[in-house]
Chain A
Amino acid sequence: MRREGGYSAGPGLILVPAILLVLLTYYGSILWTIYISFTDSNLIPNYRLVGIGHYIRLWSMDRWHTSVANMLIFGSGYIVLTLLLGGTLAILLDRQARGESIFRTIYLYPLSMSFIVTGVVWQWLLNPSTGVQQFVRDLGWQSFTFDWIGRPDRAIYTLVFAGVWHASGYVMAILLAGLRGIDPEIWRAARIEGIPVWRVYASVVLPSMRATVATCVVLLVTHVVKAYDLVIAMTRGGPGTSTDLPAKFVVDAMFERGNVALGSAAAVMLLLIVAAALVPFYLYQRRQPK
């Protein structure tokens, strides 16, 4: 098939090997990881197949259950709050405030910094003896307590705070681009009809941006599945294993505990989670009128 504006292959074909190398890096590695997950590789790979034993072992491990449960808590908190805060920022900026670019710059700057930097700062802010807790106590409220980062039952939520701070500007930027694409006629008509602004957002503007919001959700899901650096810098998985996440489980199993097959089985689980988010997204996008 000859596409519009396409030209016969010729030297362009020379480039295909570079693309193939990229595909090999991605898909070759994925297939390799899947294969290893069915072997009994320990410190070094071993290609003797042993079946699904490592998957069974994985799902019988408390530590894996903890990390999956943590991912669900962190993920739902992170995605919901980032969408809410990012959406709020986008709508506020859409109201034509003066100094919009200054505000936008401030809301988005956390995204430019690494998760390690983010984690170190929030660890310091949430440290009970030096951070926010101490600040409020010094103001005179002596009994104020905010020690979640050191509490096994609460530490996972502190990752949500840091993650939301890091990513809200990202969602804001994507949604703001969508809001700017809304037909100005809608606003004019709404004003003539005397419809309040919030109702226009709630019943016209936001529903028309469902596809953009879905894009944000998928991107945030991939962040959650990949979440590794932030935990390392903020809590190192602790206290105990209370902030362990699947991505950290994989790296630890492969490189610290010398269990490559188990780590690979866990990595395959991460792939399945991403696929579970991508497939409905893809089907949904295909149904959208272009």
Chain B
Amino acid sequence: MTPAMASRGGIGGRILLYAALIVLALAFAAPLFVMVATSFKTMAEIRQGSIFSLPHQIDLSAWRDAWSHACTGAYCEGLKPGFVTSFQIVVPAVLGSVFLAAINGFALARWTVPHADKLAAVLLLGAFVPYQALLYPIVHTLGLFDLYGTIGGLVLIHILLGQPILTMIFRTFYAALPHEIVQAARIDGAGFYRIFFQLILPLSPSILVVAAIMQTTAIWNDYLFGLVLGGTGNTPVTVLLNNIVNTETGEARYNVNMAATLLAGLPPLAVYFLSGRYFVRGIAAGAVKG
């Protein structure tokens, strides 16, 4: 409908509409506000004041502690090591999973792969499988190949498990390309990989960005595989955050916990706020229809 039509709802209706939108926006924003405000307070101020109050003055010590001093058990190195580990996992896993899905999506959409439709359907079904049903065999198999507890093992698993949804997204995208483009290149004698790299990839930046965003947030936010496959040395940031918050002894330092939580949430939040439109496209594409 058009704005002109909407305005027929009357002034009263409009006021109600904005009142509802604003109240709901405040409710949704409240937890983020509380996180930010608490992270800048001192513990003395937290004990006295309310959770919804602004900090009297900006105190950065909780952020410093969260980054480099907060403890899990005997280790007091803060979230920093988890950040490093998560980056080491996310960068190759995102590049690898997006690249592989793009090639496979193109092959399934545009090449006469035997039983392409059935293959794609069976692949897509994987997106619905609860990971608990894969967990033990994955742990066991990675152990056999000496990949258990390594960053390489986690990267491999994230690449493989990301394929169902990503391949489907690329397949849908490439199936909609006008096929004269590829046909012309075929007539010129170009092979699969030349067509893919020189012709198709340059046509795909938007869908590549959508896929990369989906994977970056999904892999950064992963907890289950990080916990089970990371072993002792390679703890991603989500696992480390949970350990810091939930294994504390003595009085909980809420300001440090909130600063740590924000730090762990910051990369996906930044990706989200910087790329909103693409993020939404990923959701729409991921809401798979039969």
The interface of chain A, by Cβ under 8 A from chain B, is: 2-16, 18-19, 21-23, 25-30, 32-33, 36, 45, 88-89, 92-93, 95-97, 101-117, 120-125, 130-132, 134-135, 138, 165, 168-170, 173-174, 177, 184, 187-188, 191, 197, 211-212, 215-216, 218-219, 222, 225-226, 228-229, 232-233, 236, 247, 250-251, 254-255, 260, 263-264, 266-268, 270-271, 274, 278, 281-282, 285-286
Contact = CB atoms under 8 A, between A and B. Distances in A.
A117 B179 contact: no
B136 A263 contact: yes
A267 B234 CA distance: 26
Given A165-B31, A274-B130, A124 B1 contact: no
A111 B273 CA distance: 12
Given A7-B182, A25-B134, A260-B136, A107 B28 contact: yes
B130 A267 contact: yes
A222 B286 CA distance: 13
B40 interface: no
Interface of B: 1-3, 5-6, 8-9, 17-18, 20-21, 24-25, 28-32, 34-35, 38, 46, 50-52, 100, 103-104, 107-108, 110-114, 116-117, 119, 122-123, 125-126, 128-138, 140, 157, 160-161, 163-164, 167, 175, 179, 182-183, 186, 191-193, 217, 220-224, 228, 238, 241-242, 245-246, 254, 257-258, 261, 264-265, 268-269, 271-273, 276, 279-280, 283-284, 287-290
A286 B31 contact: no
Given A4-B179, A25-B134, A105-B276, A191 B5 contact: yes
A13 B133 CA distance: 30
Contact of B254 (A96, A113, A130, A170): A130
B191 A11 contact: yes
A260 B261 CA distance: 33
13 contacts: A6-B111, A12-B107, A19-B167, A89-B24, A107-B28, A108-B272, A109-B32, A113-B221, A113-B268, A115-B223, A120-B242, A134-B50, A215-B289
B241 A10 contact: no
B25 A222 contact: no
Contacts of A11: 191-193
A104 to B, nearest CB: 8
Given A211-B289, A232-B223, 14 more contacts: A19-B104, A22-B123, A25-B134, A33-B133, A33-B136, A45-B136, A103-B24, A106-B29, A113-B265, A125-B34, A174-B283, A174-B284, A177-B284, A233-B245
Contact of A267 (B50, B117, B132): B132
Contacts of B100: 18
A34 B163 CA distance: 23
A121 B35 contact: yes
Best-buried of B18, B130, B179 by chain A (most CB within 10 Å): B130
Given A15-B107, A106-B28, A177-B284, A264 B130 contact: no
A170 B133 contact: no
Contacts of A212: 287
A71 B5 CA distance: 44
A-B interface, 3 closest residue pairs, ranked by CB to CB distance from nearest: A285-B290, A114-B221, A12-B111
Nearest to B8: A191
B133 A268 contact: yes
Contacts of B261: 117, 120-121
Contact of A215 (B17, B238, B287): B287
Contact of A247 (B17, B130, B268): B130
B9 A5 contact: no
B162 to A, nearest CB: 9
